[in-house]
Amino acid sequence: MEARNLLTQIPMRKSRQMRVGFDHSLYALRDLVERCFNKLKSARRVATRYDNTSESFQVFIDIVSIRPWVALLST
């Protein structure tokens, strides 16, 4: 990861001797993205990738992502 200049955004365990800091705001964004992917994977077709072409897979991702967006707007 150091060769690619990547930063870790996972907090260390409290029992670890040498602790490395992390950015709380980036960790919150990472959590948001992970929850979004988990909601998309609730559609079995997305999780198992039944589609043959990348275009049809992308279209189904678009369709599946509309569902939580509409639920968010209705609240």
Measure CA 68 to chain center. 14
Each residue's pLDDT tens digit, 42-60: 777 777 777 788 888 888 8
What residues contact 19, with CB distance under 8 A and at least 6 apart? 12
pLDDT at 42: 78
CA–CA separation, 67 vs 73, rounded Å? 10
Each residue's pLDDT tens digit, 10-21: 666 677 676 666
